């Protein structure tokens, strides 16, 4: 049976409220909800997930503010073009930060509150540091600041070798992710039974469409140490750190450290919850984010 193409998968998987816009070389899949009242709230999902991760909170939050959620490059229904000298396509953290601001502007917004979970939190902080004039506040939920995506570094001498062998390495990465995906995603939850099989299958389907491993490989190649721990003390915008009390992916102690070191940050610890508070405790998550929005407005 012939494998379904990326475009065919997108046509099958998109929702009635899905929208697409060309931005920085990507065809970005996004949803925009709300009445248009400020501030804009931008939701940034974590790695291996998609816009689906906000499904329980985007509606409730849109009653308070205008909410934008989109699939990050290499994930979901956003296109996954291969970089070339002739294109503007890049998968680096900085390029993803550029994309956040470019997408905001493309849709008519100049400033936003960034709400990031996991690696989405990494990008929220990076964007606030690089574009302070466009960021009104940040919410960092289980954010990778002291470990993981924010600190991973490929030895520079290895990169040319790995790029030259891209087909082989991307196939190997595809095999590993395919084999370990379900177990790793379930590890984000404190109570595993809260992640039903249908939702897990949907997340898996969002990721594994078209030549999905090539896009993820490009993202992996561009990962490098961001030194956010050295730079975060320069931030002077409203900030909220959120952690699940049982987060094992980003140890709760890291989030407590972040709340202590980030100037003026508030802290919310959500009980009975793991790495994805918007999934396991959506009502509590909405409540703390709504309170933060009110703080920024005032």
The confidence score (pLDDT) of residue 2 equals: 61
Percent of the chain with pLDDT over 90: 83
Residue 139 to residues 35, 136, 198, 215, 254: CA-CA distances in angstroms?
21, 11, 29, 27, 15
The confidence score (pLDDT) of residue 83 equals: 86
Within 8 A by CB and 6+ apart from 84, the residues are: none
**Average per-residue pLDDT in the chain?**
94
CA 237 – CA 290 distance, rounded (Å): 17
| Residue 208 lies in domain | 6-297
In a domain, 202, yes or no: yes
Q: What is the pLDDT of residues 175-232, one digit of tens each?
A: 999 999 999 999 999 999 999 999 999 999 999 998 899 899 999 999 999 999 999 9
Global confidence as pTM: 0.96
The confidence score (pLDDT) of residue 1 equals: 47
Looking up residue 123, the CATH number of its domain turns out to be: 3.40.50.1820
Q: What is the pLDDT of residues 221-280, one digit of tens each?
A: 999 999 999 999 999 999 999 999 999 999 999 999 999 999 999 999 999 999 999 999
In a domain, 27, yes or no: yes
In a domain, 154, yes or no: yes
Q: How many domains does the chain have?
A: 1
In a domain, 279, yes or no: yes
In a domain, 290, yes or no: yes
Q: What is the pLDDT of residues 139-181, one digit of tens each?
A: 999 999 999 999 998 788 788 878 888 888 889 989 999 999 9
Percent of the chain with pLDDT over 70: 99
In a domain, 1, yes or no: no
Is a pLDDT exceeding 70 seen at residue 74?
Answer: yes
In a domain, 262, yes or no: yes
In a domain, 46, yes or no: yes
């Amino acid at each position: 049976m012939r494998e379904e193409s990326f475009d065919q998968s997108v046509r099958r998987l998109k929702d009635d409220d899905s929208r697409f816009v060309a931005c920085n070389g990507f065809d970005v899949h996004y949803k925009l909800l709300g009445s248009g009242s400020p501030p804009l709230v931008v939701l940034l999902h974590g790695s291996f997930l998609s816009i689906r991760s906000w499904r329980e909170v985007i509606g409730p939050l849109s009653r308070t503010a205008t909410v934008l959620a989109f699939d990050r490059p290499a994930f979901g229904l956003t296109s996954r073009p291969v970089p070339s000298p002739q294109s503007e396509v890049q998968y680096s953290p900085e390029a993803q930060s550029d994309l956040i601001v470019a997408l905001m502007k493309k849709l008519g917004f100049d400033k936003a509150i960034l709400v990031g979970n996991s690696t989405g939190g990494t990008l929220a902080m990076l964007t606030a540091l690089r574009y302070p004039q466009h960021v009104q506040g940040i919410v960092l939920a289980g954010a990778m600041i002291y470990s993981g995506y924010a600190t991973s570094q490929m030895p520079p001498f290895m990169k040319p070798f790995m790029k030259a062998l891209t087909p082989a390495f991307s196939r190997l990465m595809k095999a590993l992710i395919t084999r370990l995906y379900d177990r790793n995603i379930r590890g984000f939850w404190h109570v595993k039974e809260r992640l039903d099989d249908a939702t897990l299958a949907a997340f898996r389907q969002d990721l594994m469409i078209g030549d999905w491993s090539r896009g993820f490989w490009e993202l992996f190649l561009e990962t490098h140490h961001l030194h956010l721990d050295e730079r975060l003390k320069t931030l002077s915008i409203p900030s909220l750190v959120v952690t699940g009390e049982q987060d094992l992916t980003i140890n709760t102690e890291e989030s407590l450290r972040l709340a202590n070191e980030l100037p003026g940050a508030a802290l919310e610890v959500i009980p009975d919850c793991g790495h994805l508070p918007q999934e396991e405790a959506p009502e509590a998550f909405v409540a703390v984010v709504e309170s933060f929005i009110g703080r920024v407005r005032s």
